[in-house]
């Protein structure tokens, strides 16, 4: 994406150069209440979605994993025991507020020695070619300005045989569910944000950003266009969430 082009920030049209800063402001605002809000918004079910993601990741002892847009470290905490002392996880996020909260959480949980922390932009990852066995990104891709650039960057840093897993909100597969989900997203969610995080606008953006994110098939096509093979899509909660998986060969 040429940086003089327009893009979307929720339903607003903004300059591509400005989007990263606008998204950063959202996550600076919500970082300290992010985990609490996730539990309230999903009644804790997001933890099951993340466990399912790790089960399909195939992460095992000794491997090197990048938890991209890893935020407060939910996936990292699940993967750290799997890679063991001989493996490494890099918890990475573009937002320093989220990354600091994630680092503090990992230390509080006793995860030391096999986790590194890197502030990085998904569109231009500061890692060597073919460095990682697995890259995960949960609920982060929709906030990236140039998703195609990010997918190509991820492909570059994966080893042959490595895999990408994208857990993200998507499009419900049932019309009734979609209507109910819209009511919840635009009426209830901002109210929860206002009460718990004193920030309704960030959660209004959250709902809008989900609607602007590519649907299941479109994202699958984007993953394949970036070079990934054997791509599959697993709808969760009736398509409210989807897990995309692709392999580099």
In this predicted structure, which of 4-18, 52-66, 94-108, 211-225 has the lowest mean pLDDT?
A: 4-18
Share the mean pLDDT of the chain. 92
pTM listed for this prediction: 0.91
Question: In this predicted structure, what is the pLDDT of residue 102?
Answer: 94
Instruction: Give the C-alpha separation, 92 to 106, whole Å.
Output: 13
Question: Is 187 inside a domain boundary?
Answer: no
Question: Is 200 inside a domain boundary?
Answer: no
The strand ranges marked E within 43-172 are 64-68, 88-93, 115-119, 132-138, 158-169
Question: Is 179 inside a domain boundary?
Answer: no
Q: How many domains does the chain have?
A: 1
pLDDT digits (tens, 9 = 90+) for 188-240: 988 888 888 788 888 888 889 999 999 999 999 999 999 999 999 999 999 99
Q: Does 152 score more than 70 pLDDT?
A: yes
Instruction: Give the C-alpha separation, 162 to 158, whole Å.
Output: 5
Q: Does 19 score more than 90 pLDDT?
A: no
Q: What is the mean pLDDT of residues 138-159?
A: 96
Question: In this predicted structure, what is the pLDDT of residue 89?
Answer: 98
pLDDT digits (tens, 9 = 90+) for 82-97: 999 999 999 999 999 9
Instruction: Give the C-alpha separation, 70 to 66, whole Å.
Output: 9
Instruction: Give the C-alpha separation, 158 to 173, whole Å.
Output: 31
Question: Is 189 inside a domain boundary?
Answer: no
Question: Is 181 inside a domain boundary?
Answer: no
Question: Is 192 inside a domain boundary?
Answer: no
Question: In this predicted structure, what is the pLDDT of residue 133?
Answer: 98
Instruction: Give the CATH number of the domain where residue 43 resides.
Output: 3.40.50.150
Question: In this predicted structure, what is the pLDDT of residue 4?
Answer: 57
Question: In this predicted structure, what is the pLDDT of residue 2?
Answer: 52
Q: Is the dihedral of CA 52, 55, 57, 60 positive or negative?
A: positive
The two three-digit tokens of residue 57, written as one number:
């990741």
């Amino acid at each position: 994406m040429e940086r003089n082009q327009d893009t979307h920030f929720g339903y607003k049209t903004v300059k591509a150069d400005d989007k990263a800063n606008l998204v950063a402001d959202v996550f600076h605002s919500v970082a300290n209440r992010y985990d609490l809000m996730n539990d309230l918004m999903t009644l804790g079910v997001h933890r099951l979605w993340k466990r399912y993601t790790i089960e399909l990741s195939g992460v095992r002892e000794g491997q090197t994993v990048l938890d991209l847009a890893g935020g407060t470290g939910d996936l990292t905490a699940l993967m750290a025991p799997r890679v063991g002392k001989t493996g490494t996880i890099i918890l990475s996020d573009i937002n320093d507020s989220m990354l600091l909260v994630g680092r503090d959480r990992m230390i509080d949980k006793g995860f030391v020695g096999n986790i590194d922390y890197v502030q990085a932009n998904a569109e231009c990852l500061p890692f060597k070619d073919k460095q990682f066995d697995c890259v995960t990104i949960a609920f982060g891709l929709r906030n990236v300005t140039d998703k195609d650039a990010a997918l190509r960057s991820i492909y570059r840093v994966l080893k042959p045989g490595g895999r990408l897993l994208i857990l993200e909100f998507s499009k419900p597969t049932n019309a009734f569910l979609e209507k109910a989900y819209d009511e919840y997203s635009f009426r209830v969610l901002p109210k929860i944000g206002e009460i718990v995080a004193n920030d309704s606008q960030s959660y209004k953006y959250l709902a809008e950003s989900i609607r602007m994110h590519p649907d299941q098939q479109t994202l699958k096509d984007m993953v394949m266009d970036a070079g990934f093979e054997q791509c599959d899509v697993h709808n969760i909660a009736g398509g409210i969430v989807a897990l995309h998986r692709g392999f580099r060969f």
